[in-house]
Structure 1
């Protein structure tokens, strides 16, 4: 029996990235699927009866993920854990990637102590994103810490910094913060490749050519819409100490078969 066939319980922890925003199920537009659900489906094809829990909640900071989700993940005695957190910290002023790495490292230590295979993620290279250039230096520093943690703790790393296929705007939802449905599909394939799970499709298949690039005026109109629809509400939540995840629980708190 190979390592993948021994996976009977898979637990995803983190924030909106792992919860699956904005990838709705076709028949349930208010319920998000996301790359982690898609990965669980791929794993279940190889290991029928796979139990899957997704503890990720949108808007959570790294410390919240570690305090609320890591103990529950340990209780579930998983064989595989995907752990991605810290992105919400990075976009806030004053984020300290060195301090965040200390918190992340202790969480990984606790997860690895269960005997689970732990998969962690570098951040995307934000240079390719229309609103991400200002945090690129901090993100790069955090990524270096994550790689060092993975080496020290024996984790698998999904390298997103070099995954330039996600630089295409079609990989992203209109809020410019979360993956689109196609982005989530490709992400599931990316993670599957990293853990050695054979799949029939390719995550880095070239995007179809665009009919035309938007002109300057169209882009400015898109920027204005984005600011009104997403940036201003985000600023309002920060100013009042609220989060998009307040009052929300995980979508799959218990490890159950799909």
Structure 2
């Protein structure tokens, strides 16, 4: 039976990590308490006919172990990107047949802002225009060519940002954030990221250093330098006389 319906739901103190796990997402990536509301109407036999609006807020939120931000944080040497303690996290959206429109998505930590607007189709396709903003304190720490990719903002003052796009699907999102942040001059980016995660293959011969400054994180003076493994001992030559034929 195709019956019309209207639903208005308010919720609070929902555990974000548990909801993420129940939805099949990676455990431990997000923590905090969710609250908000959803007001929707439609027809029971046609999921694409749903319309409405809603808001979701994350309280005491923390975002960590998100692979793209971890890789970016290690390349830029920004610890905060690898574990965002969120002072503000919210999304405002409305629903029209077949599409969820993100009016505003904002994640804000003490020195970093991630924001986005765009659409999510009911089939999971993403079309989000996004922005990564750093305050002047963090921006001054960046390598000069990367720092120039962040353009100053009028609002909020004291921040500079780089725009990027998110596409793909909810299960397999794609983004050009890395390219927008590091620019086209960073060579062998794939090798850098692989080495950060320990996936790089050992080379038989050490490659000659490329000219120019390296963007890979420099080892800390406190890091212990691993000594090379000792050469394998060759089998000793036999001193016994050869048997007489």
TM surpasses 0.5: no
Q: TM-score range by the shorter chain?
A: under 0.3
TM-score with structure 2 setting the length = 0.28
More helix as a share of residues: 1
Q: What is the TM-score with the length of structure 1 in the denominator?
A: 0.27
Larger Rg: 2
Q: Which has the higher contact order (CA 8 A, sep 6+)?
A: 1
**Which is richer in strand?**
2
